[in-house]
Every structure is written in C-alpha cells, then in structure tokens.
Amino acid sequence: MAELGASDAHTASLRTFPVRHPAAVFGRIMLPHAFVSSRFSPMNIFKYSSPQSFYPLAGKLVPWLAGIAAILAVAGLYLSFFVAPTDAQQGEVYRIIFIHVPAAWMSMVIYLAMAFWSAVGLAVGTRLSFYMSQALAPTGALFCFLALWTGALWGRPTWGTYWAWDARMTSQLLLLFLYFGHIALTNAIEDTRRADKAGAIIALVGAINVPIIYFSVKWWNTLHQGSSINMTKSSMATTMLIGMLIMALAAWAYSIAITLVRVRSIILERERRTDWAAAEIRLQGASA
C-alpha cells in the first residue's frame, strides 16, 4: 500500500470512508410514514421505478388525491363565484378565468411531464416511464381542449370573436393536435416497444411548442392579452388570484389522480405475462 501514499495523512483519512454507489446515497430519502409501507424505515425511491411496486402505491395514493382535488375544487369554486368581486371592466364574464387559466397551465405542464417521462424512458429504458407518458396524454388533451373552449366563450363577449389565428391560440391548437397525434400514434403501432419510442419522440419534439405557447403573448403582439400575473406584480384582485391558484391546484390533484388510475390499467395490460400481474388479473378480473 506504500505506493498509494499511506504517509499522506489526507489521503489516508479519505480512504477510511466506505465507497458507496450513488443510488445507495441518493435513493434513501425519508418520507412521512403515511407513504411508507414498511413503517419507520427509509424508503428507496428507486424501488418504485418498477411497475410491480408502483402499481399498489398508485392505488393507495388515488383516494387521497381525489379527495384533495374535490376539496380544492369546492373551495376554489366558492372563491370564484361568491368571494371574488365583479371585474370593473369585464363584469361577470371574467369568471371564466377560474377554469381557463388552470386548464391552459395544466395542458402545458402535462405535455412537459410527458416529455420528461419520455426522456427518462429513452435514456434509462424504464418501461414505467413510457406508461406514465401515455397515461398523461388523454388528460392533457382534455385540459387543452378546455383551454380552447373556454377561451372561445370568453373571447366572443370581450373581443367580439370566438376564434382568431392569433399566436397564442394557434400554438395552443397545435398542442391539442400534438396530444391527438401522440394518442393516435401510440395506439396505432402494434409493436408496443416501437409505439413507446414513437410516442416519446412526438412528446420530446412537440415540447418545443410549450415555451412557444407560453411566450407567444410577448413575442407576437396579436389578439390574446399578456399574462395577468407574474412574479413581481399582479393585475388581479387578491381574491381573484387566490381563487385561480386554488383551482389550479385542484387541477393538479385531479390530473395526478386520473393519471395514476389510468397508468394502473396500462401496467396490467403491459405486464400481464408477469406472475404478479397475472395474479392481480385473476383476483380483480373475477369481480370486474
């Protein structure tokens, strides 16, 4: 060991530390006990990258998320209709904002989440990542459609038109087509591994559109107004802003709950040949 420089005290002290794999260090994260199946033990988050362990975890989280979504939605709607004041310029029609903005945010966030899972899936090769991406798509499409629909119904009384080929609206419409494209493509390709890859590529390439939507109101001076809130100041009354943020949180909880339910069906479908999934199908299929 002399050639390693045992006389160098610094090196020697470093060598007394046991060498650990990074996963062993970063994977052990303490979470509240409610989320840990074996109580009072550190949970390894990498464990949940396997469909077999994620399936029951997702099942346990769904009722909590659904409950949170329902409570937030009731609180948000109460603020939206009974606390937030009438807008000085627009009157009551502005109340569409409480679904329009959360839906538009959600449609962008979900697409970015799909791109994230797709990147993870392509880089690491985890099957669950592709399942997550595909489970997110229909809910993303739903919020994207709602953003366009509520925007049209808001545009008519305030701008005098349901639709214009404005930069924001056109890029948002493109997002809807990207969602449809992703759903159609992943369902149309018979070979599931190829379908995963094709869907991942649409999700990653299409993600370029998300910052375009977001910054469109700055880059092009067309019909759609600029954002009503930013980090430093807000053009909205406080109760309006809080109502909108609570509705946005409700949309988050709803989306996660729905995605987890959907991914459980996808997991069973794709993992049906494994022993645990076959057992779950026998157990649950009999009463379905």
Partner 1 sequence: MIWDSFSAFIDMGGRGAFVWGSYGVTLLLIVVELWALSRRRKDTLRRLLRLQQLDKDDQQQ
Interacting residue ranges for partner 1, rule: CB under 8 A: 81-82, 85-86, 91-93, 95-96, 99-100, 103, 138-139, 142, 145-146, 149-150, 153-154, 156-157, 254, 258, 261-262, 264-265, 268-269, 272, 278, 281-282, 284-286, 288
In the complex with partner 1, the residue whose CB is nearer, 18 or 85, is 85
H and E: helices and strands count for the chain: 10, 2
In the complex with partner 1, the residue whose CB is nearer, 120 or 154, is 154
Query: Residue 58 CB, nearest distance to partner 1 (Å)?
Result: 12
In the complex with partner 1, the residue whose CB is nearer, 120 or 259, is 259
Residue of 247, 128, 120, 108 lying closest to 178 (CA atoms): 108
Residue with tokens 């990542």: 129
DSSP 8-state symbol, 165: -
Bin 199: left if φ > 0, else alpha if -120 < ψ < 50, else beta.
Answer: alpha
Whether the CB-CB separation of 114 and 133 falls below 8 Å is answered with yes
Instruction: Give the E-state strand segments of 34-128 in sequence order.
Output: 43-44
Query: Residue 189 CB, nearest distance to partner 1 (Å)?
Result: 19
Query: Residue 4 CB, nearest distance to partner 1 (Å)?
Result: 58
In the complex with partner 1, the residue whose CB is nearer, 235 or 284, is 284
In the complex with partner 1, the residue whose CB is nearer, 8 or 269, is 269
Helix (H), strand (E) at residue 283: helix 275-285
The size of the chain, in residues, is 288
Query: Residue 183 CB, nearest distance to partner 1 (Å)?
Result: 13
In the complex with partner 1, the residue whose CB is nearer, 209 or 255, is 255
Helix (H), strand (E) at residue 28: strand 28-29
In the complex with partner 1, the residue whose CB is nearer, 32 or 85, is 85
Query: Residue 196 CB, nearest distance to partner 1 (Å)?
Result: 18
Query: Residue 77 CB, nearest distance to partner 1 (Å)?
Result: 9
3-state secondary structure 227-254: CCECCCCECCCHHHHHHHHHHHHHHHHH
The tokens describing 127, both together, are 């099957």
Whether the CB-CB separation of 244 and 236 falls below 8 Å is answered with yes
Query: Residue 175 CB, nearest distance to partner 1 (Å)?
Result: 17
CA distances from 98 to 148, 161, 205, 251 (A): 14, 20, 30, 11
